[in-house]
Structure formats: C-alpha cells, structure tokens
Amino acid sequence: MTTNIRFLYACVIVKRIGKGNRLRGINKSVWQYLSLLFPVVLLTGMLWNTAVAQTSQRVYVTNHCSNTVTVIDTATNTIASTITVGNGPYRVAITPDGTRAYVPNYLSDTVSVINTATNSVVATISVGDSPYDVAITSDGTRAYVTNGDSNSVSIINTANNTVIGSISVGASPRGITFTPDGTRIYVANSDSDNVSVIDTATNTVISTVPVGDFPVAIAIIPNGSRAYVTNYFPDSVSLSDPGTVSVIDTTNNTVIATIPVGVGPELLAIKPDGTRAYVPNIKSNTVSVINIATNTVIATVPVGIFPFGAAISADGTRAYVTIINPGIVSVIDTANNTVIANAPAGECPFGIAITPLAQVAPNVTIRGRVESASGRGIFRAMLNLTDGEGNTQTVYTNSFGYYRFENIVVGRTYNLTIRAKRYDFAPRVLTINEEIKSLNFTAEK
C-alpha cells in the first residue's frame, strides 16, 4: 500500500467528516433524645436512587472535529456533559478507578486529563508528535500514549501528569493495549504492518509481530491469551475488499488466525466475558461480531455512516459505537445484535471509552452546623438540598445544631435552603466535588 493512499485515508477522516415521607409515632421527648445522637434524615418527594449512582456508567466520546469530549449517561442515553479539550482529540482511556479520562489530542500533540467527577480538564500534557491512542496500567499509575509521527510511546506518571519516558516502536504507532496482568504492552504500528510487544518492567520492545496491512487498533481478551488486531486495508489490491483481524497468540507472539471482516475495520472492543469482539467497519457502515472461540464472524450489524470506535458496558449487554455521520453513538443490544438506541455526540465522534462499574457519580457526605449569630446551635432547623432535576433531600439539625447529608452525588450543582423559627438564612448554590466536613451556616438575624 503506497504512502499516498495512507495519507489520503488520514485526510479523508480528519478533513471531510468535516424528587413526603414523614416520621410518625415519635413523641417530642423521644425525638429530642434521638436528635442528640444523630441528625434525622428525611427524603421528600421522589427518593434519590443511590443504586443508580452505583451501577450506571458513562460513556466518554472524543469529537475529533469539534475539539470536545461528549459524556453520555447510559441510563438515559443523553448528553450529561460536553468538555472542551485540545485540537483533534482522537481516542480516550479511563483510569481503573474511574476518576480520570486521558484524551490524546492528535493536532495539539498533547493529552488532556479530565476529572470525571467534575467533567473538567485538570491537566494538559505535552507528548510526542500526533498522539493517537492511550492505555492505562491496571493500578492506574502510568498512561502510555502512541505518537504516530514520532514512532514512539510516551510514558506518563499519572500522579503528577508528567512524561517520564519514551519508547521507540515501529512506524506510525496507533492502537495500544495492556495484557490483563500488566506485564506486556501491545502496540499496532500502521506503517510497519506489525505489532510491537513491550516489557513493562524494562519499557523495552521484546518482540515484533508481523500482521496485516495497516493495523490501527488492538484489544486483548480477558484471560490474556490472545490479542486481536484490526488491519484497515485488505490484503488484496482492491481497497473495496474486506479488511481483516489478526489473532495473536500472546504466549509465543505469533499470528494464529486471520479473520475477514468489513471494509475498513477500526477500533474494536471485546466483551468482558471474552466471548465476542465488536469491530466497526468504517467503509462498510457495519459492525462485525466475532465469536472468539471460533474466530469467525457470526453477525454483521448495519449502523450509520462511518462507524469508528466501540466500547462495551461492564455487564456486556450493550455495545456503544461512534458514528461519524451524523455524529451519534449507536447502542447495540449484544443479545440479538441489533441497534436499540442512538445517543447524540459531537462533530466527528472517534474514540470511545466507558467508565468502570460503580465508579460513576460517587456519593459523598456533607455535614456541618447551623447556628445563631451568637454561635449557639439551632435545634430542628430544616435544610433542603435540591438538585437540578428537582429531587430534594431534607435533614434536620440535632440539639447542638449539627446536620448531615448522606449519599450526595459529586459533580452536580445543588440549591440549599434553611428554615428555622425566628431565624433567617440566605439560600446557597453548591457545586459538590468532594466530601464536605464543615459546611456551617450562621443566621442573618
């Protein structure tokens, strides 16, 4: 395949896609006794569903043409947030604890670091030339970034978000992933038509595996025994012929199978149980479903124009696929391999990653004291904390004026009001980013 054709591929993609329950039966003396022990929490209206906060996931999508990241709530398939990042964001990876997302910006030669609690950029890291993809170690301490025009992999210390090293690999490295045990990194080198295998103990290349034509992405099954590599171009002369997926036996780093898929296979994803791989085919407008046991395509799912990236929910029931035109994410039911929903994204959605289960919208505590101007604690002051959807949690202060809100979702903005006999308090607007231990209020009169 000529360099000009490869360049044309890059240009076409980058340029053209151009909220009362009440407590009953408690007399005043009992109430006062209990209030000495703890503040009483009441829920008014619709109860806050903390189970949802513990089980729902969010999808992070890089929008290459609008320089943004779209955050999609999987419970509703709607946009939860839009974040501005660098120029030409390509792919995205999320730390194992779900607190940070790392986004390589292909045209800025940087990586944006997103705090997933606040959905804001907290750091921008300079890396090599034309960063494509990023993978994060299982302990979350390092991020490895492929630099397509530097033929290198940058190593980022995630504690301080600085580059601490670089590894030379093949020509135009794109896809990157780790083995489950974290001892090896596999890098797909597009212009070398091979995969570099890196020993993470020494950060050196220990093996080079020839694969198909123009490998762009790579994923490893959960038991670590096989790596699946998408080869964008076919082995034949005709560009309209199907691309392939090379299967690497990671025990000896040899190709043991080649699977024909659609035309232009891109960023594949593998189900958590290791039984299926989902491969978006950008030029066929389909997603190929591979049976891992037999290394055969068992289903082909029609989607929109130019499907690019894929990610799988933690329970394996949904596959999320970025569709460049018209800028959406299609949701595939993996039980029957049909599209069941489409979520909005930005302009030219490319990369996609999904937060780990139970890491979305962590719950925290807010506590403090309500007091008079003289500093005396106010008994049974009522505090109402209301989120943007009108859901309200109500607590009452104890005999010493102390209150406590439980299970408050971070990253949200709340209105807080206080009512107490003979006292006035101004309402407050709070954006909760972490646990608050001493949020105190003094009466205006």
DSSP secondary structure string for all residues of 50-103:
HHHHHH--EEEEEETTTTEEEEEETTTTEEEEEEE-SSSB---EE-TTSSEEEE
Q: State pLDDT tens for residues 106-131.
A: 999 999 999 998 899 999 999 999 99
Reading the block at residue 210, the tokens are 């020839």
Instruction: Indicate whether 336 belongs to any domain.
Output: yes
pLDDT value at 13 more than 80: no
Instruction: Indicate whether 211 belongs to any domain.
Output: yes
**CATH no. for residue 348?**
2.130.10.10
**Residues 79, 116 within the same domain:** yes
**Residues 67, 38 within the same domain:** no
Rounded Cα distance, 437 and 217, in Å: 45
**Residues 185, 271 within the same domain:** yes
- Whose structure tokens read 């608050």? 436
Q: Output the CA angle 261-252-93, nearest 5 degrees.
A: 55
pLDDT band, very low/low/confident/very high, at 373 (cuts 50, 70, 90): very high
Rounded Cα distance, 343 and 112, in Å: 23
Show the beta-strand stretches assigned E in 266-347: 269-270, 276-281, 286-291, 296-302, 305-312, 318-325, 328-333, 338-344
| Full-model pTM | 0.72
pLDDT band, very low/low/confident/very high, at 56 (cuts 50, 70, 90): low
**Residues 116, 151 within the same domain:** yes
Look at the chain and count its residues.
Answer: 445
Q: Looking at the DSSP assignment, which residues form a beta bridge with residue 197?
A: 186, 207
| Residue partners of 217: CB distance under 8 A and separation at least 6 | 133, 174, 175, 188, 229, 230, 265, 266, 267, 268
DSSP 6: H
pLDDT value of residue 388 = 74
pLDDT value at 145 more than 70: yes
**Residues 327, 407 within the same domain:** no
137: exposed, middle or buried (C-beta count within 10 Å: 0-12, 13-18, 19+)?
A: middle
pLDDT band, very low/low/confident/very high, at 377 (cuts 50, 70, 90): very high
Instruction: Indicate whether 171 belongs to any domain.
Output: yes
422: domain range? 19-50+361-442
The pLDDT mean for the chain works out to 87
Count of domains observed in the chain: 2
pLDDT value at 359 more than 70: no
Instruction: Indicate whether 5 belongs to any domain.
Output: no
Phi and psi (nearest 5°) for 32? -65, -35
Instruction: Indicate whether 93 belongs to any domain.
Output: yes
Identify the helix (H) or strand (E) that includes residue 164: strand 162-168
**Which residue from 176, 159, 158 is spatially nearest to 167, judged by alpha carbons?**
176
Exposed e or buried b per residue across 303-340, where buried means at least 16 C-beta atoms within 10 angstroms of its C-beta: bbebbbbbbbbbebebbbbbbbbebbbbbbebeebebe
**Residues 115, 184 within the same domain:** yes
